[in-house]
Amino acid sequence: MPPRKNGLRRSSATTFRRRLIIFRRLFRTDSTTSELIEIVNLTLNHDGYPPAATMALKHDLDALKHEYNCVIRFDRKTSCYKLLSVGDFAILDLPNESVDALNFIEKNFPDDTVLSAFINVQKLLRQIKMLIPNDSKPKTGIPLTFRNPGRQNSEVDKRTLQVVRKAIENKQMLAFDYTSNFELYEARRHTVAPYEIFFRDGHVYLDAVVHAVAPTGHVVANDTVEYRLDRITFGSTRLLPTGIPPVRPPQSRYPLVYTLGPEVARRRDLATFFNETNITYNEDGSATVMAVVSNLWTTRQILMRYGGACVVSSPPELVQLFRDTIAQMSANYPS
């Protein structure tokens, strides 16, 4: 039979698609021979590999290495192929602004941390950089940096983080043993509705609403609590079969009012740290700040940075927190 019209063109296109599928798979993760064959056959269906697939796969891998300059190694310990360099598939020619953004990410998400979220960001960054040709990487200046997150000061158990994230994703209740600052030695069993994981001041926190604590402690039902994940007892985290309530109980709302002296407010460029912030600059150079907060402990920590230049007038609970803190500090520094 005469060859089908455009048959060579179709065959060439199929071959390229097959090799592109292999490249994409190896770019995403290390893979075994059987995994590479399977992904090609699933994607291309009738245009996949013939029965003698192993030799055909080897031919495609050799083509990726020799025709596209990819660096691919076979790891005998894992029986997996690894993509070490993308070769001619480095197709991202980014402008300086985009590379600045990549440098910003690299600076603020260091790879010397065990926090899984940081590890994932660094993996993404490495993958993006692999796709940028070496001869077209623009030179950039000094990247901006975050200062408030801080360095991670303690290791978070990976299993604990995994269970907490699953509870948030599935909207399931969560239980764990927890030791707070108020309970130096005794861990209590907390049953909570989990909502968010966040990173602040070198620690990973869970934002949750408490449903029960046993034995009873200083935390009461329906409180919003920011739990440090590294203080959850290893191996104690459990998913519960019940779902979280469809509507989150309203968080405490405290109307915050504080005055900042002229020494920090005279330039009229104050930072805003809280929700619904409204700043009034006064004729004497001071400023009156009104806002809404939900966590008085954190609010105190933020405002303490102003030292004696800040005077809090509301809410009364926060004023008392400052009085207690000042009295304790005064006792620690006798004249």
Residues 233 and 204 in one domain: yes
Residues 15 and 68 in one domain: yes
pLDDT of residue 255: 95
Residues 67 and 129 in one domain: no
Evaluate whether residue 68 is within a structural domain: yes
Identity at 122, one-letter amino acid code: Q
Averaged pLDDT for residues 174-203: 83
10 pLDDT higher than 70: no
Evaluate whether residue 170 is within a structural domain: yes
Averaged pLDDT for residues 193-199: 88
CATH code of the domain in which 273 resides: 3.30.70
Residue 65 phi, psi (nearest 5)? -75, -40
In the structure encoding, which two tokens stand for residue 55, read together? 């030799």
Burial of residue 60 (number of CB atoms within 10 Å: 0-12, 13-18, 19+): buried
In the structure encoding, which two tokens stand for residue 217, read together? 């402690």
Q: pLDDT grade, residue 111 (50/70/90)? A: low
The model's pTM is 0.56
pLDDT of residue 87: 93
140 pLDDT higher than 70: no
Evaluate whether residue 208 is within a structural domain: yes
CA distance 78 to 74: 9
pLDDT of residue 312: 97
Residue that the structure tokens 């009295």 belong to: 327
Residues 286 and 238 in one domain: no
CATH code of the domain in which 71 resides: 1.10.10
Evaluate whether residue 234 is within a structural domain: yes
Higher pLDDT, 313 or 155: 313
Instruction: Write the pLDDT tens digit of every residue in 57-67.
Output: 999 999 999 99
Evaluate whether residue 320 is within a structural domain: yes
Evaluate whether residue 52 is within a structural domain: yes
Instruction: Write the pLDDT tens digit of every residue in 86-104.
Output: 999 998 888 877 877 887 7
244 pLDDT higher than 80: yes
Evaluate whether residue 146 is within a structural domain: no
Averaged pLDDT for residues 276-302: 93
CATH code of the domain in which 163 resides: 2.30.30
Residues 170 and 237 in one domain: yes
Length of the chain: 335
Domain membership of residue 116 as a residue range: 96-136
Give me the number of domains the chain comprises: 4
